[in-house]
Amino acid sequence: MLVEQLIRETLEMQGFRIESVKQAGSELVVTLVPDLRYHPRCGVCNSPGDYRDTLSERRFRHVPLWAIPVTLVYAPCRITCPVCRSVHVESMPWAAGKKRLTRAFAVAIATWAKSLPWLQVARQFQCSWGTVAAAVAYAVAFGLGHRDLSCVTHIGIDEISRQKGHVYLTNVYDLRTGTLIWSGEGRTKDTLSAFFNFFGPERTARLVGICCDMWPSYIEAVKAKAPQATLVFDKFHIVKQLTEAVDKVRRQEVAEKDKEHKGVLAGTRYIWLKNPWNLTDRQKASLSFLETLNLKIHRAYLLKESFRDFWQSATREMAAKFMKHWFGLAMESKIKPMQDFALLLKRHEDNILSYFDMPISNGAVEGLNNKAKVISHRAYGFRSAKNYILNLYHCMGYLPMPVSLHRFV
């Protein structure tokens, strides 16, 4: 099989022909020229147009053949489009938009970039890191333009730390499919408002349920932009707040006790935080001994365990009754961290109880956030939020990929 035939098999060549294939150093240079049997087509609307003039030559990286770099050389023309009534550069169907890559090469790079760090992909394809970033950007732009969000009715909102120093991204997921819908810098009201502006009023109006934590900025944005949706506070964040309160009681008690009691409490952190059925035999024995000492941490532990029954309530009314009873127990305990948690529940009671009307949670979202962290760790971090967000869309958005004539991977 001739190299020319291989090129034709991997490129959309209608309207063009191969003039020559030459070896220049360590690469193959393929020169393309117009096929005069066809009218050039408009790069905007793809309608046939009239030739106007020719621009300077452009070089496009193509998929390597047996690890030999391949470069396409073509001098595009400008045409007068009768439909657009303007002058545009002709359509080059093999090109990846305005990038100096062929669509096939961009798809091959972007496919590998889902599994490998960009630097590793660049080494594999003998190109620069910027070329990989350009290919991923092309694939993501295509995917975002061709995905369907009309069926999204339940969304989960959560933040993820991008780097040290409280630098966050806000991620919005489709709870039904576990797909990343949108990602933006920060975790402010303006950040989440930007998502709703992107999502549009029609799709926002179709939202039925929204799950997030009790971050005030998110609450304000949701109530302002999607008041018709049921706002549910995430069960896992509430449990996390409770366990943090219990651990705060432990730390305070360690600080208050004398040296002898500090020794008793040393190494007991996870005894109070773990589920009872996950305790080791040694931890169970330690817990049995600690129960006899009448410690504040033990009373806080009992409150934590009793709150577990809240999520088993059959109806909203039963859950409200349970919460009222538990609130009284927490306030009577005179343990400040537990009282603070009880007051937090009281302030957000309505949206916490919404869970029993619409039992949605961000449990799957937490797993997706862990995947987002793996993506960052795999690349040893990203210098800019733009590239990190680009990679999150690429790996977690399940976006449709551009179609190339030939499959390389």
Given this model, what pLDDT does residue 378 score? 80
Given this model, what pLDDT does residue 94 score? 86
More confident: 381 or 201: 201
Given this model, what pLDDT does residue 309 score? 92
Q: What is the dihedral of CA 43, 48, 51, 57, to 10 degrees?
A: 40
Given this model, what pLDDT does residue 165 score? 67
Given this model, what pLDDT does residue 96 score? 85
* Angle, helices 296-307/235-256, rounded to nearest 10 degrees: 170
> In this prediction, what percent of the chain has a pLDDT beyond 90?
48
Q: Which two tokens stand for residue 257?
A: 């006790």
The pLDDT confidence band at residue 380, using thresholds 50, 70 and 90, is confident
Mean of per-residue pLDDT scores for the chain: 88
Please give the average per-residue pLDDT across 383-407, as a whole number.
Answer: 85
Q: Which two tokens stand for residue 192?
A: 């989440």
Given this model, what pLDDT does residue 406 score? 62
Please give the average per-residue pLDDT across 211-231, as a whole number.
Answer: 93
What pTM was computed for the model?
Answer: 0.83
Is residue 41 classed exposed, middle or buried when 0-12, 13-18 and 19+ CB atoms within 10 A define those classes? Answer: buried
The pLDDT confidence band at residue 262, using thresholds 50, 70 and 90, is low
**Residue 190 in this model has a pLDDT that exceeds 70:** yes
The pLDDT confidence band at residue 272, using thresholds 50, 70 and 90, is confident
pLDDT in tens, 27-60: 899 999 998 888 899 988 989 888 899 999 999 9
**Residue 286 in this model has a pLDDT that exceeds 70:** yes
Q: Could you give the C-alpha distances from 235 to 222, 239, 335, 350, in angstroms and in order?
A: 18, 6, 23, 14
N-terminal to C-terminal alpha carbon distance within the chain? 20
**Residue 382 in this model has a pLDDT that exceeds 80:** no
Helices (H) and strands (E) counted in the chain, each on its own, are: 17, 12
**Phi first, then psi: what are they for 273, rounded to 5°?**
-95, -30
Given this model, what pLDDT does residue 261 score? 65
* Angle, helices 316-332/296-307, rounded to nearest 10 degrees: 180
**Phi first, then psi: what are they for 95, rounded to 5°?**
-80, 150
Given this model, what pLDDT does residue 258 score? 63
Amino acid (one-letter) located at 42: C
More confident: 272 or 346: 346
Q: What is the DSSP string of 248-303?
A: HHHHHHHHHS-HHHHHHHTT-HHHHHS-GGG--HHHHHHHHHHGGG--HHHHHHHH
